[in-house]
Structure 1
Amino acid sequence: MPAYHPLAEQELLDILKVGGRSVKRCLGMMLQRHLRMDNGAEPLSKAEDIGSGNGLSVLYQVVYSYSVFASVDCVYQKVGGAVTLLAADAQQGVLRLGLPASAPDARARAVNRSS
């Protein structure tokens, strides 16, 4: 199972508090993927690779979406065999959940948090 950066964990908790049913379905899809990553059934792929972070890490961006109503955007860091969730954003309809609209997106936050 991927580890969670402390700030990403707080972002997910904030999203969970205010998200509707469709956002919670996206979070469920994310957890299912984490289990599949853990058992090797569905590792992060080259198509999800968004380049390198700071240092030796490689970043991956995965969007979990439910219809057009909701999505959760996660950015992971992989160093060797260790995977860490660095940042998460959520959209419900046209609203961004969790962080204010002026905050940087998950990708920008993940680059700053990467090792």
Structure 2
Amino acid sequence: MPKEHQEGVMLGEPQISTFATTTVINMPGEISSPDHVVWSLFNTLFMNFCCLGFIAYAYSVRSRDRKMVGDVTGAQSYASTAKCLNICALIFSLFSFIGFIIVYAMSKNSHRGY
């Protein structure tokens, strides 16, 4: 056995009777907050009502940048704005599409009688 190991075996545990105070700090791992980049890209390509999808994409990219820097609050703020813009773009685009279908169907029915 090496000399250091033999001394450790002979000494055993320290005979100090004081209490040790420990502090436990729970550090969360990487906080995962969604940045909605994929949803924003979809809205930019397919449901870009008044450029809301493109603006949402810009906010999503800013959110991802803030997350990479470590600014969790800024990332969540940008992600929240991107989410609201995505919802608005989706709703307005769906209403526009449904309205277009209704107007098209009405115009077909009005020409049918003549």
TM-score bracket relative to the smaller structure = 0.3 to 0.5
TM-score by length of 2: 0.34
Structure with higher strand content: 1
Structure with higher helix content: 2
Q: Which has the higher contact order (CA 8 A, sep 6+)?
A: 1
Larger radius of gyration: 2
